[in-house]
Chain A
Amino acid sequence: MTLATDTTSYGWQVEDLDTDEMILNMGPQHPATHGVLRLELRTDGEVVRGVRPHIGYLHRCFEKHCENVDYAGVIPYTDRMDYVAAMGNSLGYALAVEKLMGIEVSPYLQVVRVIIAELQRIASHCVAVGTYGMDLGAFTPFLHLLRDREKVLDLFEWTCGARLLYNYNWIGGVSHDLPEGFARATRDLLREFDAVTFPELMNLLIGNKIFVKRTAEVGVCSPETAISYDLTGPNIRGSGVPRDIRKDQPYCGYEKYDFAICLGQGQFGPLGSCFDRNLVRALEMAESSKILHQALDALSKMERTPVHEKVPKRAKPPKGEVYFRTEAPRGQLGYYVVSDGATFNPYRVKVKSPCFTAMSVFHVLAKGMMIADIIALIGSLDIVLGEIDR
């Protein structure tokens, strides 16, 4: 079919139409921007010619606060950065300060931390994958995944009393030991996850033809771009780069667990597309489940040790500095902690947030896209604005 250009009967010609570029503001109050993000889109009709992301709407002076409280006092603030995966944030900070102070927690506590971190990864990816489906119009998987996230949050509430902001990983230990019966409850959850939720997710959302069509060819990020812009976590693995800090520089005894690095395959389109990044998240949930089974086995053979045994009364690390990174659910979360050795407050805490760097590649990937695909791209990068703005 050819486009009818003879519009004489209308009284105007196609050439008379204005084709100027238009600036379109998306956000900061937009349901699909996953927080208070403002995108300044330069559009030509439906095509996006350029993007300028504006961040900072949720800036809460995290790094300045850190310099005014003591080392333990920083932990509640870390929870409030990536509020979808708060356990991962405090774990990274606690490990950084422990490295600075030369503390090593007992093997039992390491296993506890791994269990908590992997449960948090499942909970966080539930939100990431679920809301991504919802952005693209699939509402049901979101409800199913939130149902399972709820069970993980119940476990956390049982353990430490909080559902969202935990203050759980302390310097030299954790705030509460796992309660009696925690292992059995977790196994129940995992059994249901492995048998029901995960296959359901793969059938209902990931394998859905409409979902594949919407995501498989948009937002393609090459491995070189991904490394240069320091994409990390599921985003870089979606581009086919097999890098995971849990394997490369293991912490908390991750080297003892048998799990695979999930990679994007590019089976429906070019490698590194929105589909691949999202697929990696879904597959990682199954890998986390594998790690959890092994960790629970290890836990059953261990003697409990006191959880506050090595928590310093008041942390005062020697003069020095450390950069420590962990594999948080959204990617590599790095803490640069400087101690002056004289006071009880950190001299400087800088956070390298994985979402911050993921957002910095946005204008490259978004160029030339349709406006509707911008929504698919934001969701696939899985950003949490609390962590970008800090």
Chain B
Amino acid sequence: MDAKAIHEKLAARFGEKIAGVSLEVLEPWVVVASETIAEVAAFVKADPDLRFDNLMCLSGVDYPKEKPPRMEVVYHLYSYTHLHTFVLKVHLPREDPALPTVEGTWSVANWHEREAYDMFGVVFTGHSDLRRILLPDDWEGWPLRKDWVDPEFYNGMRVKPTQQMMERALAGEAIGVGPFDFTPPNRHAGE
């Protein structure tokens, strides 16, 4: 099926829950209301004409400069039966983004959703094991958000050089985690 027919089918089934559509782009997509994504996922997988049995990719994207600012979760779907692709998008608020998990439909979503949670702080409600996956368990913050600022310390260790350290480095000095004030003892002081 082509993208237009897929959109019509989804619009007929879910009505205004399909909030937006763009078919004249490289990868046609529709925007799905966040609370219905699990139902839409189950539908597109089960429907014999669509049969999207493969979730190729699940990504988070942060758009702080759009009006209103939003977080997107993008589902790239593929059908092993009909060999067609389609894209679903969900728009979320940037504060406390949350949406239902699609883990029950595509098992691979388990890890993809953990990654989106890890990088963007998107909470997938109903997820069986929502932990950080790539970053350490004690990491704070959501690094792939556009307003992310590198922390200065991680577990008490300095991980970001200070301005002073940068200047010393640019001047050609070797820098470590210092600056240390360390003068080696003069072994010949008494001679």
A350 contacts partner chain B, Cβ-Cβ < 8 Å? yes
Contact flag A389-B56 (CB < 8 Å), given A320-B25, A320-B26, A360-B111: no
B110 & A360 in contact (Cβ 8 Å cutoff): yes
B106 pairs with A322, CB closer than 8 A: no
Q: Could you pull out 6 A-B pairs where Cβ atoms are within 8 angstroms?
A: A56-B132, A243-B80, A352-B56, A352-B76, A357-B111, A361-B108
**Quick check: A390 and B111 within 8 Å, CB to CB?**
no
Q: Could you tell me if A348 and B26 are in contact, using CB atoms closer than 8 angstroms? A: no
- For the complex, what is the distance from the CA of A225 to the CA of B108, rounded to whole Å? 10
B190 within 8 A of A: no
Residues of B within 8 A of A99 (CB): 26
> Inter-chain contact count A-B, CB under 8 Å?
81
The answer to whether the Cβ of A332 comes within 8 Å of any Cβ in the partner chain is yes
Which bucket holds chain B's interface residue count?
Answer: 20 to 34
Structural contact, A338 and B61, CB atoms closer than 8 A: yes
Q: How far apart are the CA atoms of A99 and B87 in the complex, in Å? A: 17
Point out residues on A near B: beta carbons under 8 Å: 55-56, 59, 61, 63-64, 99-100, 225, 227-230, 241, 243, 248-249, 320-323, 325, 332, 334, 336, 338, 347-348, 350, 352, 356-357, 359-361, 364, 389-390
Q: Which residue of chain A is the closest to B129 with respect to CB atoms?
A: A52
Checking B26, B80, B83, B85 against A321 with a beta-carbon cut-off of 8 angstroms, the contacting residue is B26
User: Beyond A55-B133, A322-B27, is A229–B108 a contact (Cβ under 8 Å)?
Assistant: yes
* Structural contact, B57 and A334, CB atoms closer than 8 A: yes
Using Cβ atoms and an 8 Å threshold, which residues of chain B touch A356? 111
- CB-CB under 8 A from B80, the residues of chain A are 227, 241, 243
Asked whether B54 lies within 8 Å of A227 as measured between CB atoms, the reply is yes
A340 CB, nearest partner CB in chain B, Å: 9
Q: Is B134 a contact of A55 with CB atoms below 8 Å?
A: yes
Nearest first, the 4 closest Cβ-Cβ pairs linking A and B are A350-B59, A230-B108, A360-B111, A352-B57
Residues of B near A243 (CB, < 8 A) are 80
Residue of B nearest to A52 (CB): B129
Residues of B within 8 A of A227 (CB): 53-54, 80
